[in-house]
Amino acid sequence: MSRKKPGIFSKKKGFTLVELLVTVIIIGILAGMLLLSAGASTDSAKAARIIADLRNMKAAALMYWADNGSWPVWYYNGTAYTAMPPGSPGPEKYSDLTAKGEGYWVGAMRASDDHSIAFSVADLRELDDGVKRSIEKQADKVALYGDTFSGMPYQPEMDKLEKFNAEKHDMLLWIINK
């Protein structure tokens, strides 16, 4: 009868510490890449939502014009949407865009120098830079213009508008009628 010597064949198989560390590092790198990708997707989705809200505000302004024969001035005053002149119908009559979005609001305005020109506007001052860059990528496709905030009611000079630039502009404009 043969006896096994203790220790010769009783080694337990397992992973070394180095193998475990390499595996954890690789998983960490992959998770980091996934989080970066998810962040970019979130920014693109929010940019698409802002552009859709601008489109809805444009449609609401066109309905206002059909009812009243003039363009509205609708802006967010910090707590709710305000219509100018006071007492005129607000956007809630024409659209469900009656609340501020996450870090932005949309409105409708007329140009300061020509009341026949109107545009929908988004105030992007509180938005993340990633969302602004995502909007900038879509600016050519949708003909989005940019400007800097000059106070309320916001009415830019239309002949000085340029393509939206994420680093330069904090207001986003989509011309309704020119």
Q: Which domain holds residue 149?
A: 17-177
pLDDT digits (tens, 9 = 90+) for 126-176: 888 888 888 888 777 777 877 777 766 666 666 677 788 777 888 788 888
pLDDT digits (tens, 9 = 90+) for 11-56: 667 888 888 899 999 998 888 887 776 666 788 888 888 888 888 8
How many distinct structural domains can be found in the chain?
A: 1
Collect all residues with Cβ–Cβ distance below 8 Å to 178 and sequence separation of at least 6. 117, 158
Whether 10 is covered by a domain: the verdict is: no
Whether 91 is covered by a domain: the verdict is: yes
Q: Count the neighbouring beta carbons within 10 Å of the beta carbon of residue 145.
A: 21
Whether 8 is covered by a domain: the verdict is: no
Whether 110 is covered by a domain: the verdict is: yes
Q: Per DSSP, what are the bridge partners of residue 137?
A: none
Single pTM value for the model: 0.69
How much helix, strand and coil, in percent to the nearest 5, is found in the chain?
A: 40, 20, 40
Q: Per DSSP, what are the bridge partners of residue 175?
A: 119
3-class DSSP state of 167: coil
Strands, sheet with 118-123, edge to edge from the N-terminal-most edge strand: 81-84, 73-76, 105-110, 118-123, 171-177, 145-147, 162-163
